[in-house]
Amino acid sequence: MLLFENIKEAFRSIKTNLLRANLTALIIAVGISALVGILTAIDSLKGNINNSFSSLGSNTLEIRNREPGSGPHIRKKGKKRKRYPSITYKEAAEFKQKFQTNAIVNLSVTVTDDATLKSQYARTNPNVTVQGTDETFLGLKQYNFRGGRNFSNLELMHGDNVCIVGAEIAAMLFPSGYAVNQQLFFFNRAYRVIGQFEPKGSTMAGTADRLVVIPIENAIKVNYDNSTSYEINIAVKDPSELEETENNALAVMRLIRKDGINQEESFSISKSDSLALALIDSIGTVSIAASLIGIITLLGAAIGLMNIMMVSVTERTREIGVRKAMGATSLLIRQQFLVEAVVICQLGGLLGILLGILFGNLASYYLGGSFIFPWVWVLAGLFVCYLVGMISGYYPAWKASRLDPIEALRYE
């Protein structure tokens, strides 16, 4: 009952000083929304990264010329990720020939990420990914056909102008949304569509619905850049064989790349889940930045709240004297002002949490993530608001509890 009365009194005081209380609550809301919003977006993106790469399975290896998650501006623990000499098609093909195991070996190369495709009906934006690969690509990536078929051995051997397209491309270029047996134009060539993927959606691993797959020999014909690096994907049926397969792949690739006994590998070999971990590690510093932003904002809010509570104590000196004269103890007075500070913080915290969840999920949506409700950050935000209220309100509450009732009654 005492706590309930203190909460009622806190709301009465907030209503009396509505502008000051609202401004303080808004400052707290900004700090909490920054903290919860950014961390919500990061959690959503992390979940999306894991879901994206889980389609590769836990039994997949990837060999390429750079470390997982590498990029021109991405660093790992303050150092740029390593980038090695390109893996040529000759080296990739030699690896596939020499790597005699039961594992599936796939060769692929990204020709471009900004191709423009045309049909007799329409054209796409310059944001289509064209990838050259072999017959094992579709099973390895777990893509399903809506219609059509995979590449034939003759098409792969001769590098014919045939392709398999994603659902979004078919919908953009053909009125029926079905592209099989239709003709497309890109790279100044005419391609016949022999297959179409089912919709897969956008993921952190790529946009499968805006993907065009062509035979790898055809990709070699249209790609004149000698610096192009090919990728090798290896999938084993039994996950228990993954470590042995990785060791064998490492030995074969070192031999092909002519890496010396005491020399570091001139390539990167990684499991599929390590790619997800690398991406998550790359955005981990954002969590630290978000926490610092939130803490700095909350520090400013705590100072503002303490100032408001000090002003409130001064303005209510006579009221404190009356309460003490009627038998209120110093403990009760202290509790009253502490509860008021905590209530202001919690009101700001609730608003900040709602805004943080809204903005965090909106940001995640535009970055390809999914909606989540961050229970951990919600509870953490409420707890932080409680601490801010207790810390900011303690000194004003202590000062109010120490007032002499006679002097307080004589105030004004």
Share of the chain above pLDDT 90, in %: 23
List Cβ neighbours of 410 (8 Å cut-off, separation of 6 or more): 321
Q: Where are the alpha helices (DSSP H) in 142-283?
A: 153-158, 167-173, 216-222, 242-257, 272-282
Q: What's the distance, Cα to Cα, between the start and end of the chain in Å?
A: 32
Domain presence at residue 67: no
Higher pLDDT, 193 or 403: 193
95 and 205 both lie in a single domain:
yes
Confidence band for 204, pLDDT divided at 50, 70 and 90: very low
Q: Pairing state of beta strands 189-197 and 162-165?
A: parallel
Q: What is the mean pLDDT of residues 250-276?
A: 83
Q: How many CA atoms lie within 13 A of 118 on its CB side?
A: 7
Domain presence at residue 274: no
Confidence band for 69, pLDDT divided at 50, 70 and 90: low
Quote the mean pLDDT of the chain: 81
Share of the chain above pLDDT 70, in %: 85
Domain presence at residue 183: yes
Of 107-121, 150-164, 245-259, 374-388, the least confident: 374-388
Of 28-32, 154-158, 243-247, the least confident: 28-32
C-alpha 358/C-alpha 133 separation (Å) is 41
pTM above 0.75, yes or no: no
Whether the per-residue pLDDT at 95 is higher than 60: the answer is yes
40 and 108 both lie in a single domain:
no
Of 61-75, 187-201, 396-410, the least confident: 61-75
Pick from 210, 232, 266: which residue ends a domain? Answer: 266
250 and 110 both lie in a single domain:
yes
Q: Where are the alpha helices (DSSP H) in 80-131?
A: 89-98
pLDDT for the residue numbered 119: 93
365 and 400 both lie in a single domain:
yes
143 and 255 both lie in a single domain:
yes
List Cβ neighbours of 54 (8 Å cut-off, separation of 6 or more): 276
pLDDT for the residue numbered 61: 86
210 and 321 both lie in a single domain:
no
pLDDT for the residue numbered 70: 46
248 and 294 both lie in a single domain:
no
Confidence band for 322, pLDDT divided at 50, 70 and 90: confident
Q: What is the mean pLDDT of residues 87-112?
A: 89
Domain presence at residue 272: no
Q: What is the mean pLDDT of residues 15-24?
A: 79
Whether the per-residue pLDDT at 261 is higher than 80: the answer is yes
189 and 320 both lie in a single domain:
no
C-alpha 165/C-alpha 158 separation (Å) is 20
Beta-bridge mates of residue 109:
132
Contact between 129 and 207 (Cβ < 8 Å): yes
Name residue 3's amino acid: L
Number of Cβ atoms within 10 Å of the Cβ of 187:
19
Confidence band for 357, pLDDT divided at 50, 70 and 90: confident
List Cβ neighbours of 210 (8 Å cut-off, separation of 6 or more): 124, 127, 128, 129, 166, 168, 169
Contact between 231 and 64 (Cβ < 8 Å): yes
Whether the per-residue pLDDT at 71 is higher than 50: the answer is no
Domain presence at residue 277: no
pLDDT for the residue numbered 179: 92
Q: What is the mean pLDDT of residues 345-362?
A: 86
Confidence band for 274, pLDDT divided at 50, 70 and 90: low
Whether the per-residue pLDDT at 290 is higher than 60: the answer is yes
Confidence band for 74, pLDDT divided at 50, 70 and 90: very low
Boundaries of domain holding 376 = 2-50+284-409
Number of domains in the chain: 2
List Cβ neighbours of 191 (8 Å cut-off, separation of 6 or more): 161, 162, 163, 183, 184, 185, 214
pLDDT for the residue numbered 72: 42
Whether the per-residue pLDDT at 49 is higher than 80: the answer is no
329 and 214 both lie in a single domain:
no
